[in-house]
Amino acid sequence: MNKRKFGLAMSLVLAAGTILGACGSVKEKNNEKAGSKEDHFSIAMITDVNGVDDKSFNQSAWKGIQDFGNENNLEKGDGGFDYLESKSDAEFEPNLNRLVRRDFDLVYGIGYLLKDAMETIADQHPEKMFGLVDEIADRPNVVSIMFKEQEGAFLAGATAALMTKTDKVGFIGGMEIPVIERFHAGFVAGVEAVNPDITVDVQYTGAFDKAELGKAQANRMYTSGVDIIFHAAGATGNGVFSEAKERKSANKDADVWVIGVDSDQYDEGQVGDQNVTMTSLLKRVDVAVKDVAELARDGEFPGGKVKTYGLAEEGMALTDSRGAIPEDVLTKLDEFKQKIAAGEIEVPEFPTKK
């Protein structure tokens, strides 16, 4: 080989080595950033139309964001943790884009309504990491966070069956969509596991933001003899509490109870020195959001996968009943919980069609 050809060959080898070295450095830096707890791995979320203080899963998600931020010495705002509220469906895409432009490392969309917007923005920004709660987005850079609502609702149903004095209990759902149907199916299964002869009145209001519809259904149920109502209806469920509190105010001895959902709704049931909240079924969106953020921070982002949280994963739980539920009932509920978590009881996902 003449000197000219040898020199050209050496130049190509050196150039290739430089390019590969640069690529390796970039990859190493990305891995170092994702894997180091010292680095500021930033996260943010957008709400659905119910807002961050919905006393439901938006609020729970924001708690998880804050917990992650506090544990990682982050501050609220750019480079740390934050949220944006969506007042309408039309704000979903713009809000996601705003958080992407603010360069948060991981961006969450809270609620099934955000699926289309999330997929659109994820396609536009394939280098970014996203998390979608309560729906499945088939995108490699989106982790879909789902829950076994039916498992937690089973415990709510068992609670109602063990505590009812009239053998009539009720379920009020928002819209007939899979997530609410899982609450419905689990609640009925829990009641039937205790006593199949108990009547379960099931009604859907068709909305998550109409308290007056929840109040009307609760009025009808309580009047018919139902003494415990479990709601999975978002802000519509506020009407269930209103009706129960009105009845308790009129008659302190009235046996009217509500089982709350998603977040601890004890404060919603306060009536003077009494309370109509028997317990609440927590949907631990905070646990899931924080868990996924930690995985992403540590370089193990489960993009393109579905992460599902049930009783075994501490994704569902009943709140402290503040004395409304006696110890023997709590013991029975814990037995059900252990059996479900161990797979000894399999709770149906879908309601039985009658």
Per-residue pLDDT of the chain in tens (354 residues, 90 and over written 9): 444 443 434 443 434 444 344 333 333 433 444 444 446 899 999 999 889 988 778 999 999 999 999 999 999 999 999 999 999 999 999 999 999 999 999 999 999 999 999 999 999 999 999 999 999 999 999 999 999 999 999 999 999 999 999 999 999 999 999 999 999 999 999 999 999 999 999 999 999 889 999 999 999 999 999 999 999 998 899 999 999 999 999 999 999 999 999 889 999 999 999 999 999 999 999 999 999 999 999 999 999 999 999 999 999 999 998 999 999 999 999 999 999 999 999 999 999 875
Q: CA-to-CA distance for 80 and 22, rounded, in angstroms?
A: 29
Q: What is the dihedral of CA 202, 205, 209, 212, to 10 degrees?
A: -100
Long-range own/partner contacts, residues 117-124 (CB < 8 A, 24 or more apart): 117/89, 117/92, 117/93, 118/92, 118/142, 120/93, 121/93, 121/96, 121/97
User: For 27-75, how does the pLDDT look when each residue is reduced to its tens digit (9 = 90+)?
Assistant: 343 344 444 444 689 999 999 988 998 877 899 999 999 999 999 999 9
Domains and CATH numbers, the chain: 43-147+286-309 (3.40.50.2300), 149-282+323-341 (3.40.50.2300)
Q: CA-to-CA distance for 236 and 172, rounded, in angstroms?
A: 9
User: For 131-187, how does the pLDDT look when each residue is reduced to its tens digit (9 = 90+)?
Assistant: 999 999 999 999 999 999 999 999 999 999 999 999 999 999 999 999 999 999 999
pTM: 0.84
With H, G, I as helix, E, B as strand and everything else as coil, classify residue 71.
Answer: helix
Per the structure block, which two tokens stand in for 115? 């699926």
